[in-house]
Structure 1
């Protein structure tokens, strides 16, 4: 038996991270082989903006459930690459609105077929195994459970019960 499966839930997060890193690396290979200078880590911002732009940085952060600082750093990085532009919000000059540049819009057109192919490939992957078909629902249930009671609180409660 492999090291990770033998440890069960003790390495649950490590296994999810390894799987996530694997998927991101594989998707980056697809972009590279297609000649598209896109990084899979940019996907959430690109996807959000593909549906609505301009969008305030704070709204991007809220929808992605990550810090304003993390979004700001990514937007700055994508702005330096010429893919995004920012403008001050007319109603509140402290807020920055994010939108695609022409180069960003062109890249979006290139990557959207890749996104469709990724969805198709992932659907094929999970249909190969009956239990895999429940994966997204199971992840959603775990996410909801830790929102209701964080893992740290559960661990501390378990420690206290064993004292």
Structure 2
């Protein structure tokens, strides 16, 4: 169809619905061909009842992957058609069980003959086609169960937007952004402390002149993220990753990840063996990012920050 040639893969759902509608229409005609009064949408529920016997609505919903309200509606329609009924002879009175009626069992035998012919017809299509649609559907289902289409699109969105982000070295003109971006998130969760004011008000004196570095993330030439690599006077650690902040209006664009990667690269070039950081477990996105980067918990170090309740380190030898 020309429409789908123009829309491309964006119309995947519409194209699948059109194919489903075509197959469903044929399915209705096939039931008529075999003189079976039956709605195609009943088949999954009917099949489970025919194969497994009596079931509850919940069990049926789990078996066919439908919602309970959907299965309830189908059962109501099948009950009206005389194909299923509540099993009043069940020994378990705590559960409402449904089962095929005699009419349902009779139709089941006729549908089995019909199914054999349908199976043969579909095998014929598969033999004519270059791609086995049945196997392709199974593979797509497995892949989408592992990661949904929504998540895949979100990843592509983040990747595309991250290409518009530029990470640049700190300049004096970014001092206001360096301070305001950090003050924004610190004040939102905690309170500014003396150590914050020293680094944020005097970054050149307290970070750059002592062998550290600061990087700024620009999005559309606007500073929207910052992060510092602070030289440590410590026998165990070379540098500290600190003062990472990303504006809430651009979160979700992979900026934190890009800044952290720049910091790690800078530390490697400086000959560092490890990086240390302090944070708070209330900052779940940040903690998740650090874990993803390979940081691991350490314990027992003194800290100038009241808000610090987790300390982590990254062994750069473990990073390829």
Using structure 1 for the length normalisation, give the TM-score. Answer: 0.89
Aligned mates of 1:156, 1:92 — CA distance in 2: 48
Aligned mates of 2:100, 2:79 — CA distance in 1: 9
- Taking the TM superposition and a 5 Å limit, the aligned residue runs for 1:10-159 are 10-87=10-87, 90-91=91-92, 93=94, 95-131=95-131, 134-159=132-157
Greater RCO, CA 8 A, separation 6+: 1
- The structure that is helix-richer by fraction is 1
- What do you get for the CA RMSD once the two structures are aligned? 1.7
Post-superposition Cα deviations, 1:53-102, rounded to whole Å, max 9, x if no partner, equal 11222111111111111111111111111110113664461x32121111
Aligned mates of 1:35, 1:136 — CA distance in 2: 27
Gaps of 5+ in 2: 162-320
Using structure 2 for the length normalisation, give the TM-score. Answer: 0.47
Aligned mates of 2:125, 2:139 — CA distance in 1: 21
Aligned mates of 1:99, 1:130 — CA distance in 2: 41
Aligned mates of 1:2, 1:143 — CA distance in 2: 27
Runs of 4+ with deviation above 4 angstroms? none
Gaps of 5+ in 1: none
- The structure that is strand-richer by fraction is 2
Larger radius of gyration: 2
**What is the aligned length?**
160
- Indicate the SS of the match to 2:97: strand
Shift of 1:5: 3.5
